[in-house]
Structure 1
Amino acid sequence: MNLEIEDAKIILDDLYFENINDVTAICIIALNDDSERDGLILGYTRLSQGARVTDILNFARNDLNKPYAENTRETVRKHSLKYLVEYGLVIQNADDPNRVTNSGNNNYILTPQFRELIQAYLTDKDKYALLKETFVDSLEVTRLKEIEELKKKTDNITISHYSLKEDLRLSPGPHNIIEKFLVEDVAPHLSKDAKVVYVGDTKTKDLYFNKELVEYVGLEIDIHQKIPDVIMCDDKNGILYLFEAVASSGPIDTLRKKELEELFSDWKSKHTIVFATAFLDSSLFKRFSNQIASDTTVYLIDQKRMISYKDY
């Protein structure tokens, strides 16, 4: 049984991977391929040994009849492989971790654990169910370690994003750790085109705002006004993302949602607003779980979980 695109998507969904699309699925299929072929990195005969982005595109074109253009390479790298690596499913340059980023031999392989999970999916559903649970637990452990390291920081917490001209530097603390994950982790899963409009800091409320986008969404920056902690905008699709980072108080309850709708009334009359509250861990979320407004979303950073609040 061969791994198909829909199979790869099912596995990703089972692992709560959020950025699921055909290109990401094709990356997984390519990196799982054991058939011998020419034209790979010198000394390699199978994609599973290590595949460059070009090798993956060639595989898509020749083996799957998916003729992606060569200029798709950056999209594959930034919007598929990058997230697979960050999620612990793929290793970059396992053969040479010190390889420079612009090397023509930059390559990717599946982690042994993820490869074993795929094989179990194809051959043994009982084993797959068992491995899947273990795998999800290990992903959460990795995220918890990442959060603990950030909590220990006494210097600035940095935020990186393609729409920023330079990294943002926030003061240390749980609230700003949440903001980091919102910009770097949550937002790209919602929209690859979302841009940072505003990011506040517990010490500097107007830490960053994009003047052009602030005017575009009809917002006036006033540190005395109750502006959401993080604002991002997908101007291509007309979607505004309003995030509240909750370290002690302040989720988007019914009253807060009404305030935000009034604050962004001009935008709401023409476009879409997505409301979301983020918690660093589930223990704090439990304190506020019955206060969350309908038609909003909650993100649990430690578990990489998304919870939708909807009436029925």
Structure 2
Amino acid sequence: MLTIGIAKEILQRVGFPEQNCTDTTAICVIALQDRKPRQGLILGHQCLAEGARITDILEFARNDLGKNYAENTRETVRKHSLKYLVDFGLVHVNKDDPTRPVNSGNTNYTLVEEFDGLLKTYDDPSLFSNKIQGFVNEATINRKKYLESLENHKVQIEVPFKSHPLLLLSPGDHNIIEKLIVDELFIEEGRRTYLVYLGDTRNKKKYIDEELVERIRISVDEHAKLPDVIGFDESNNEVMIFEAVASSGPVDFLRKKELEVLFAKCPYSLRMSTVFLKRSVFQKFSNNIAPGTSAYIAETKMKAVYETF
């Protein structure tokens, strides 16, 4: 069985986000690799590797690793460990029944086959070294598959730090980018970012936090040329401004000026970014991106292609 330290090392080597590379995330990985026969699992499952609920993982942590997690930590484990393992292409959710609602009591997690295979080679340094390079390439492929899986369904976004129902956006590349902005970039570099505003391609004012709008002093009216997503990073007192680009419209010199006017009364520093769905779209507009702004490419997990202009 892997140790927590080794599991974390492997996660780091495959490029897993550092802020989520915690002991808890490592324990999730170790649990999902476990093939010891157990009682009390989902009907038909004989071991954790066949599909483990969060409750099963916590039970494993207590009984097998001596880590006494309270039951009320389940949501923390889901949001800060399993969610990112799924998003990064290392873990499946509900592989046995993809139509199962995510809030079902039978929601369960399994390792992606390629990642499971990589973990099994750790004791053979030569084989592991060869396999990890192939896996990193495989992870990129899985990332693209994940994005493709979102294309024909309503896009679901959880509003951070709010007891708020899921936002359901219409299908489409633009709204997929918005989901990735909230799910991934809002927590980049250990940030604590609140959602201020988010527009749907079919509903310009899909989400507005009126209190935060007033705090950062912007006008959200029908005439305002708002960016696609606005966040407020409380940890750095910084307003995060994002344009989601599926085909056109980065933060170029003119758009930057427009945004500076829109946020002229804002008492906080501004951080402007353009998020592209695909590298090909980024390459098309890369020469037009305004100095002092940032760009991300969704299909390559963003962090590896961060650019400052």
Give TM-score scaled by structure 1 length.
Answer: 0.75
How far residue 97 of structure 1 moved from its aligned partner, in angstroms, is 6.0
1:112 maps to what in 2? 113
Partner of 1:167: 167
- Is the contact made by 1:244 and 1:276 (CA closer than 8 Å) also made in structure 2? yes
Confirm whether residue 80 of structure 1 aligns to residue 68 of structure 2.
Answer: no
Question: After superposition, what is the alpha-carbon deviation per residue over 1:68-120, rounded to whole angstroms, capped at 9, x for unaligned?
Answer: 33211111123322332344422345556676766655433213221101122
Aligned pairs for 1:217-296 within 5 A:
217-235=216-234, 238-253=237-252, 256-257=255-256, 259-261=258-260, 263-264=262-263, 267-269=266-268, 273-294=270-291, 296=293
- What does residue 129 of structure 1 align with? 132
Q: Offset at 1:9?
A: 3.7
**Aligned residue identity for 1:142:** K
Q: Cα–Cα, structure 1 residues 309 and 100, in superposed 2: closer, same or farther, change >3 Å? A: closer
Provide the residue aligned with 2:197 in structure 1: 198
Q: Percent identity?
A: 44
Quote how far apart the aligned CAs of 1:60 are. 3.4
Query: For structure 1, which runs of at least 5 residues remain unmatched after alignment?
Result: none
Aligned residue in 1 for 2:58: 57
- 2:180 and 2:308 mapped to 1: Cα distance? 24
Moved more, 174-183 or 208-217: 174-183
Give, in angstroms, the shift of residue 177 of structure 1: 4.1
Residue 196 of structure 2 aligns to a residue in which SS? Answer: strand
Secondary structure of the corresponding residue to residue 299 of structure 2: coil
3-state SS in 1 of match to 2:306: strand
Contact 1:159 1:184 in 2 (8 A): no
- TM-score normalized by the length of structure 2: 0.76
Number of residues of Structure 1 aligned to a counterpart in Structure 2: 300
In 2: Cα distance, 1:139 partner to 1:113 partner? 10
What is the CA deviation profile of residues 175-209 of structure 1, one whole-angstrom value per residue up to 9, with x for unaligned ones?
Answer: 34433443355446677853332123456544432
Question: Residues 88 and 219 of structure 1: is their aligned pair in 2 closer, same or farther, counting only changes over 3 Å?
Answer: same
Secondary structure at the aligned position of 1:200 is classed as strand
Q: Unmatched 5+ residue regions in structure 2?
A: none
**CA distance change for structure 1 residues 87 and 250 in 2, over 3 Å: closer, same or farther?**
same
- Aligned partner of 1:21 in structure 2 is 21
Distance 1:89 1:106 in 2: 17
Q: Which amino acid aligns with 1:129?
A: I
Match status 1:309 vs 2:302: no
Moved more, 302-311 or 281-290: 302-311
